[in-house]
């Protein structure tokens, strides 16, 4: 047994659960994408509260969309890629006008 794996006291459950888990190391690109995605999500979460303050929230929305885009692109989550593109376009036009 590897010391990184957690096992229950039930061997049958261990065997069933191990089927559903893929033991995979992340590439450096995937790790960077994950970290950028967390940072982008934090920017997007705080943006609505910053909108009243001289449109700082619009800039943080744009930063959040840019930072979270690599993570969803690498994961091939195309629906979230489209949401981020829509966010970039919408708040880009909001700041432009």
Residue 11: inside a domain: no
Predicted confidence (pLDDT) at residue 7 exceeds the cutoff of 70: no
Which domain covers residue 39, as residue numbers? 25-96
Residue 58: inside a domain: yes
Predicted confidence (pLDDT) at residue 64 exceeds the cutoff of 60: yes
Residue 18: inside a domain: no
pTM of the entire predicted model: 0.71
Q: Which residues contact 55 (CB under 8 A, 6 or more apart)?
A: 94, 95
Number of residues in the chain? 97
Q: What is the mean pLDDT of residues 22-37?
A: 88
Overall number of domains in the chain: 1
Helices (H), 1-97: 11-20, 28-50, 56-74, 78-96
Residue 14: inside a domain: no
Q: Could you give the percent of the chain with pLDDT greater than 70?
A: 92
> Given pLDDT bands bounded at 50, 70 and 90, which one contains residue 24?
confident
């Amino acid at each position: 047994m590897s010391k990184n794996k957690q096992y229950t006291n039930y061997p049958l459950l261990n065997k069933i659960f191990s089927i559903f888990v893929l033991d995979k190391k992340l590439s450096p690109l995937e790790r960077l994408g994950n970290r950028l995605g967390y940072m982008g999500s934090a920017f997007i979460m705080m943006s609505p509260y910053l909108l009243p303050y001289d449109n700082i929230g619009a800039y943080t929305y744009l930063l959040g969309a840019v930072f979270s885009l690599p993570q969803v692109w690498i994961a091939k989550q195309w629906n979230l890629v489209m949401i981020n593109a829509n966010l970039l376009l919408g708040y880009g036009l909001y700041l432009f006008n």
